[in-house]
């Protein structure tokens, strides 16, 4: 979709339509959902999308929680017109409860689209203005932030795979 060099206007229009499609799906499936601050969940998805560069990553950014947090299925995405590579990235971004967080990050790191989206997601999740301090959950919150920071460092190339695994193990997150 992003490689039509003969007609840049057609390419730009196709990219816009692809993002609109993902936006519509996200709005429909996440309708009524709120984040921890009580804000519409779609705002998180939009912030993640805005941090992404390629159209495929923008689509995946809008859809990154759709399989995990809604009734949507992989088939729903395909039938709606989401291309297979974006659908596959969204699937990689879906963390199932039985999968260890470090293993989840290591697996999605192999997918460039999923990796770009997860970096944007982590940045939004631990943005200083959005981080909650809950005295009754401070240890749990601190562990979650440490997990986000270590995962971001690994995905952005500042920690090697073995360093990431060891760091997650040392803090009891792997």
Is the CATH number 1.10.3210.10 carried by domain 8-170? yes
Residue 3: its pLDDT value, please?
Answer: 53
Domain-by-domain residue ranges, the chain?
Answer: 8-170
Are the C-beta atoms of 75 and 143 separated by less than 8 Å? no
Beta bridge partners of 24: none
Question: CA separation (Å) from 39 to 36, 49, 50, 78?
Answer: 7, 17, 18, 29
Are the C-beta atoms of 93 and 108 separated by less than 8 Å? yes
Are the C-beta atoms of 55 and 15 separated by less than 8 Å? yes
In degrees, to the nearest 5, what angle opens at C-alpha 52 toward C-alphas 91 and 2? 85
Residue 122: its pLDDT value, please?
Answer: 97
pTM confidence score: 0.90
The pair of structure tokens assigned to 131 is 């981080």
Residue 129: its pLDDT value, please?
Answer: 72
Residue 136: its pLDDT value, please?
Answer: 83
pLDDT in tens, the chain (174 residues): 555 567 888 889 999 999 999 999 999 999 999 998 899 999 999 999 999 999 999 999 999 999 999 999 999 999 999 999 999 999 999 998 899 999 999 999 999 999 999 999 999 998 877 766 677 878 888 888 899 999 999 999 999 999 999 999 998 866
């Amino acid at each position: 979709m992003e490689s039509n060099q003969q007609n840049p206007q057609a390419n730009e229009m196709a990219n816009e339509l692809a993002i609109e499609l993902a936006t519509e799906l996200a709005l429909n499936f996440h309708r009524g959902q709120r984040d921890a601050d009580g804000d519409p969940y779609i705002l998180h998805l939009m912030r993640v999308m805005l941090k992404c560069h390629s159209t495929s990553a923008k689509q995946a950014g809008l859809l990154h929680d759709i399989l995990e947090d809604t009734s949507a299925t992989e088939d729903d995405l395909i039938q709606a017109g989401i291309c297979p590579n974006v659908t596959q990235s969204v699937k990689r971004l879906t963390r199932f409860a039985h999968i260890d967080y470090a293993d989840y990050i290591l697996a999605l790191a192999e997918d460039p689209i999923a990796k770009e989206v997860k970096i944007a997601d982590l940045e939004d999740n631990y943005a200083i203005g959005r981080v909650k301090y809950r005295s009754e959950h401070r240890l749990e919150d601190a562990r979650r932030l440490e997990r986000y920071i270590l995962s971001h460092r690994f995905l952005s190339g500042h920690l090697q795979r073995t360093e990431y695994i060891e760091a997650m193990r040392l803090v009891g997150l792997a």
